[in-house]
Structure 1
Amino acid sequence: MNLIEVRNINKYFDQPTRMQVLTDVSLDIEKGHFVSITGKSGSGKSTLLYLLSTMDTAFEGSIRINGEEMQGKRNRWLADFRNHHIGFVFQFHYLLPEFSVLRNVMLPALKLARYSPAEIEQRAMDILKLLGVDGQATKRASLLSGGQQQRVAIARALINEPLIIMGDEPTGNLDSQNAAIVFDLFRQLSSERGQTILTVTHDDDFARRSDKVIHLVDGRIAG
Structure 2
Amino acid sequence: MNAALSAKGLNKYFHEPETFQVLKDVGFEIKKEEFVAIVGKSGSGKSTLLYLLSTMDTDYKGSITINGTTVTGLSQNELSRFRNEHIGFVFQFHYLLPEFSVLDNVMLPALKLGKKSKEQVETNAMELLTLLDIKGHEMKKASKISGGQQQRVAIARALINEPAIIMGDEPTGNLDSKNTKVVFDIFRQLAKERGQTIIAVTHDDEFAANCDRIIEMVDGKIMT
TM-score bracket, shorter-length normalisation = over 0.9
- Give the SS at the match of 1:97: coil
CA shift, 1:75, in A, is 1.0
For residue 33 of structure 1, what is the aligned residue in structure 2? 34
* Post-superposition CA distance 1:98-129 (Å, at most 9, x none): 11111110111111111111111000000000
Aligned residues: 223
For residue 102 of structure 2, what is the aligned residue in structure 1? 101
TM-score, length basis structure 2: 0.98
Q: What pairs up with 1:177-188 in 2 under 5 angstroms?
A: 177-188=178-189
For residue 143 of structure 1, what is the aligned residue in structure 2? 144
Aligned counterparts of 2:113 and 2:3: Cα–Cα separation in 1: 26
Unmatched 5+ residue regions in structure 2? none
CA shift, 1:182, in A, is 0.2
For residue 91 of structure 1, what is the aligned residue in structure 2? 92
For residue 62 of structure 1, what is the aligned residue in structure 2? 63
Q: What pairs up with 1:102-141 in 2 under 5 angstroms?
A: 102-141=103-142
Contact 2:4–2:31, Cα closer than 8 Å, also in 1: yes
CA shift, 1:70, in A, is 1.8
Question: Quick check: 1:164 aligned with 2:165?
Answer: yes
Contact 2:102–2:140, Cα closer than 8 Å, also in 1: yes
Contact 2:34–2:196, Cα closer than 8 Å, also in 1: yes
For residue 200 of structure 1, what is the aligned residue in structure 2? 201
Paired amino acid for 2:66: I
Paired amino acid for 1:185: I
Greater than 2 Å deviation, 4+ residue runs: none
For residue 9 of structure 2, what is the aligned residue in structure 1? 8
Aligned counterparts of 2:53 and 2:135: Cα–Cα separation in 1: 31
- Give the SS at the match of 1:48: helix
- Give the SS at the match of 2:99: coil
Aligned counterparts of 1:69 and 1:14: Cα–Cα separation in 2: 26
Contact 2:129–2:156, Cα closer than 8 Å, also in 1: yes
Aligned counterparts of 2:63 and 2:114: Cα–Cα separation in 1: 31
Paired amino acid for 1:179: T
Aligned counterparts of 2:105 and 2:74: Cα–Cα separation in 1: 30
Contact 2:12–2:61, Cα closer than 8 Å, also in 1: yes
| Aligned residues: CA RMSD | 0.7
Contact 2:81–2:113, Cα closer than 8 Å, also in 1: no
For residue 22 of structure 1, what is the aligned residue in structure 2? 23
Aligned counterparts of 1:121 and 1:49: Cα–Cα separation in 2: 30
Aligned counterparts of 1:190 and 1:71: Cα–Cα separation in 2: 26
CA shift, 1:193, in A, is 0.7
Paired amino acid for 1:191: K
Aligned counterparts of 2:88 and 2:68: Cα–Cα separation in 1: 18
CA shift, 1:72, in A, is 1.5
